[in-house]
Chains A and B, each alone.
Chain A
Amino acid sequence: MKVKQISVFLENKTGRLAAVTNALGSNQINIRALSIADTSDFGILRLIVDQPDKAYEILKAKDFTVSVTDVIGVEMPDQPGGLAKVLSELEEAKINIEYLYAFLGRGERGALVVFRVEDIDSAIEKLAKSGLNVLKGEEIYKM
């Protein structure tokens, strides 16, 4: 039920983000979702891609500082109040969110939200009980 997220350390300089996306693109790796967290000096690029293991190896070989983190992907109805419903479930389960980002699904999928929590196993267990649709990694990679 875990989704592999690739994180890349980026100095706050022109061309660094392009360098990452070029490396992925020229190796036929498709980006499903991304977000950037930044400070004045550096940022962390977080990516969900279709082939996380390969993406990790490619970026590492290109001397990027890169790590793989497990995150949770949850499907939600693409309508007003969709995210709010997910978040109140999380609140009720007392799951503290480190960060999250959301994106639209394709086909019959609604919207999706990816979030990072401290204790991922207990979070998944609680979410499954709440009736939310926690997606498998493969389901998101293949979307």
Chain B
Amino acid sequence: MYWNQKYECMPREELLALQLERLKNTVEKCFYNVPHYRKAFQEIGFEPGDLNSLQDLAKLPFTYKTDLRDNYPYGMFAVPLSEVVRIHSSSGTTGKPTVVGYTRSDINTWAELMARALVTAGVTKNDVIQNAYGYGLFTGGLGVHYGAERLGASVIPISGGNTKRQVMIMKDYGTTVLTCTPSYALNISEVIEEMGLTQDDFQLKVGIFGAEPWSDNMRKEIEQKLGIIALDIYGLSEIIGPGVAIECPSKTGLHIFEDHFIPEIIDPDTGEVLPYGSTGELVFTSLTKEALPMIRYRTRDIASLTLEECSCGRTHLKMKRVSGRTDDMLIIRGVNVFPSQIESVLLEIGQTEPHYQIVVDRIGTLDTVEVLVEVSASFFSDQIRQLEVLEAKIREAIESTLGISVKVRLVEPKTIERSEGKAKRVIDKRKLD
């Protein structure tokens, strides 16, 4: 099933021609309407007329999150504020917030893309979508909402939090599709269990989860606990919000909507463009955005791209699941560590709850890592030895995956903070200045 078959299944050659035409248009608008881009292009002696092929894109400078901050709040907009009908923004917990704007046409594009994403995941107008992404400045809630309405599905704008009420509504209103972060989906499954309910009490069939990195093992866990198909959705507010890419039910990667965005994978250190199949940092260029066009935006997300044919018939290339972010990456004793690696290990061992927290500290000059893991009732017995064996097993598995030594500490169930949005997986106590 397609939402817009012409574009979703467009032959590659036609698609690339369309991209070039749209890219020329975007680059021109950036050059003439956004001082930041004009200056950046002029610094390398580039003028809009120099762009003659898609390969020329690699000559253009990158855009960073700091560019949005430096031009706070509206300096990166390519249209006057009078044309902007919506403003979203990041929370700004790591500095000045980043502000993104949408024209009426951008909102329309976004709704179209999000509707397309939902259909790609197998959602139809007959579905009841419980949208537990946060509504407000965060693009997740409203992004999914507009797409669901565009599709004609029944959307419940419940937003995040109040999990017991979520479960009650999910049951009573006959929710068939759940949209939220994967860690919140796990949280919901736990509350369902606590409330003494089972899969049979619900009509859920699909979950569309994103906004934080997760693993295939976590997918299996969620699918099994909720009795659904769990699919990965990708997006970021700087590019448009949710609806940049999504998995089809073949679960072989996320189709990037290439008629609106050009993805690249680069080496994050050298900036060099890497061939398909390589793992590196994902970079996006927008092709149809009016208010906030983006040229080669550095997402800090680590992924890879593949052109392999898909059984769903879509011709758009696929990205592999994001395996981490260059900025949630921990550097411990010189080793790069992604929290998702530790999560994978825990889910593979499967004898603990999937809730964990990584505490990094520095004692003297030595970085220490402690992984707190919740003991699972089903694997607990009366014997100390068995728990010690489990601790050792987890420790050895993490050490062999990460290549650094860690301490594992088993903790009582439900003592690690539950998330109602993004999970707080890492506590870094090191003072690294």
Contacting residues, chain B, for A64 (C-beta < 8 A): 412
Size bin of chain B's contact surface: 10 to 19
* Chain A nearest Cβ from B387, distance in angstroms: 7
- Chain A residues with Cβ below 8 Å from B415 are 11
Task: Tell me, rounded to whole Å, the shortest Cβ–Cβ distance linking B33 to chain A.
Answer: 57
Q: Given contacts A65-B375, A65-B377, A66-B377, is CB(A46)–CB(B382) below 8 Å?
A: yes
Known: A9-B375, A39-B388, A66-B377. A44 touches B412 (CB 8 A): no
Q: Kindly state whether residue A10 has any CB partner on chain B within 8 Å.
A: yes
B383 & A44 in contact (Cβ 8 Å cutoff): yes
Say if the beta carbon of B6 comes within 8 Å of chain A. no
How many chain A residues touch the partner (CB < 8 A)?
Answer: 22
- Chain B 370-385, CB-CB to A under 8 Å as 1, else 0, gives 0000011100111110
In this assembly, does B414 line the interface, its C-beta being within 8 Å of a C-beta of chain A?
A: yes
Q: When the two chains form their complex, are residues A98 and B375 in contact, meaning their CB atoms are under 8 A apart? A: no
Query: Are A42 and B413 within 8 A (Cβ)?
Result: no
Q: Are A63 and B382 in contact (CB under 8 A)?
A: no
1/0 per residue, CB under 8 A from B, across A33-75: the answer is 0000111011010100000000000001001111101000000
Chain B CB within 10 Å, residue with most, of A10, A41, A116: A41
Please tell me if the beta carbons of A9 and B380 are within 8 angstroms of each other in the complex: yes
- A60 partner residues in chain B, CB cutoff 8 A: 377
Residues of A within 8 A of B387 (CB): 9, 39, 42, 44
Q: Is the CB of B381 within 8 A of A67?
A: yes
A7–B411 CA distance with the chains assembled, in angstroms: 15
B381 engages A42 (CB within 8 Å): no
> Could you tell me the distance in whole angstroms from the C-beta of B371 to the nearest C-beta in chain A?
12
Cβ of B383 and Cβ of A9 under 8 Å apart? no
* Contacts between the two chains (Cβ within 8 Å), count: 51
Q: Which residues of B contact A7 (CB under 8 A)?
A: 380-382
Q: What residues of chain B lie closer than 8 Å to A41, measured between beta carbons?
A: 409-410
Docked CA distance A44–B415 (Å): 17
What CA separation (Å) do A37 and B388 show in the bound complex?
12
* Chain A residue at smallest Cβ distance from B376: A65
Distance A67 CA – B380 CA, assembled complex (angstroms): 7
Q: Indicate if the CB atoms of B384 and A9 lie closer than 8 Å.
A: no
Residue numbers in B under 8 Å from A65 (CB-CB): 375-377, 380, 412-413
Closest to A16 in B: B412
Cβ of A45 to closest chain B Cβ, rounded Å: 10
Q: Mark B397-433, 1 if CB is under 8 A from A, else 0.
A: 0000000000001111111000000000000000000
Contact in complex: A67, B382 (CB < 8 Å): yes
Q: Which of A2-44 contact B (CB under 8 A)?
A: 5, 7, 9-11, 16, 37-39, 41-42, 44
Chain B residues lying within 8 Å of A44, measured Cβ to Cβ, are: 382-384, 387
Q: What's the Cα separation between A66 and B384 when bound, in Å?
A: 13
Q: In this complex, what residue of B is CB-closest to A63?
A: B414
When the two chains form their complex, are residues A116 and B382 in contact, meaning their CB atoms are under 8 A apart?
yes
- 8 A-B pairs with CB atoms under 8 Å apart are A9-B380, A9-B410, A9-B412, A16-B412, A41-B409, A42-B410, A66-B380, A69-B382
- 8 more contacts with CB within 8 A, not counting A37-B384, A42-B387, are A5-B382, A7-B382, A9-B375, A44-B382, A44-B387, A65-B413, A69-B381, A69-B382
- Top 3 A-B pairs, shortest CB-CB distance: A7-B382, A69-B382, A65-B380
